Amino acid sequence: MNHQAIYNTHPTVVSIDDGEGAKDANGNSVAIDQSLVDAEAARLKEAREAEAAQKAADKASANAKLKALGLTDAEIEAIT
């Protein structure tokens, strides 16, 4: 189960047990709309991938700027 996607799409859910399912604050079972969960899981995955891509681009940009300042690869590696 993608717990974060369930919490994001079902605001009454306060706990999730992979065996027993989602529960509200009173311990009652909450029906899960799987299509909402699947869409949110896809959105979360895209967000994680975009964040990772941005981090890699930022690192490459920073390294290029450090090289432009005259630092060697060894010096750049030492400070990153």
pLDDT at 80: 82
- Flag whether pLDDT at 13 surpasses 90: yes
Residues 6+ apart with CB under 8 A from 57: none
pLDDT digits (tens, 9 = 90+) for 16-39: 999 999 999 999 999 999 999 999
pLDDT above 90: percentage of residues in the chain: 96
Q: Which two tokens stand for residue 61?
A: 């940009």
pLDDT above 70: percentage of residues in the chain: 99
Enumerate the domain spans of the chain: 3-79
- Flag whether pLDDT at 1 surpasses 70: no
Give me the mean pLDDT over the 43-61 stretch.
97
Exposure class string for 37-73: b at 16+ Cβ within 10 A, else e: beebbeeeeeeeeeeeeeeeeeeeeeeeebeeeeeee
